[in-house]
Amino acid sequence: MSKFLIVGLGNIGEEYAGTRHNIGFDIVDRLAKDLEGKFKSDRLADVAEVKYKGKQLILVKPTTYMNLSGKAVNYWMQAEKISIENTLVIVDELALPFGKIRLGPKGSDGGHNGLKNIQETLNTTNYPRLRFGISHEFSKGHQVNYVLGKWSDEEKKTLDDRIKIATDAIRAFAFIGLERAMNDYNKK
């Protein structure tokens, strides 16, 4: 059975729940719920194991805080013996409009501290990722407050639908592969 590591980036703690920066956590939470998985606290992360069409998905929410995400990603890749090609990192993205997703095989950290730490820890930028657009509707000097802020009422109206599309894209990544999943979901 093929095994996949699905890592949603976010920060632990109630003050970060429901913020734009924690969309990675929200997406893997939804996937776990849909596939009847339960998270349990484990080493460096909360982890849930689920199955989808003959594939085993190890869902991971690092408990290391965003800036040390690489530590958890590296640990779980080694512990579960999962290749980098079968590892998908889910992250918030300022450069995309709200709710747009982009699957890709590699890329820069784009100034994102979680991706920066993963890149430093794994010593590569060549790992699959799903970027979830949070837009960049903030005034100069207010990026941190925006990213760590809660979703607007307008965004909340379609957030669940956009998260569902992201979870469908993750399933496609595991079942039909990155390239076909990119073709199917990067347009939605």
Sign of the alpha-carbon torsion through 92, 7, 68, 115: negative
Q: Which residues sit opposite 59 in a β-bridge?
A: 6, 48
Annotation marks residue 142 as catalytic: no
Strands 45-52 and 40-42: antiparallel
Q: Which residues sit opposite 45 in a β-bridge?
A: 42, 62
In whole angstroms, give the CA distance from residue 71 to residue 76: 9
In whole angstroms, give the CA distance from residue 118 to residue 4: 17
Token output for 154: 């307008």
Could you say which of 21, 112, 136, 142 is catalytic?
21
Residues with a known catalytic role: 21
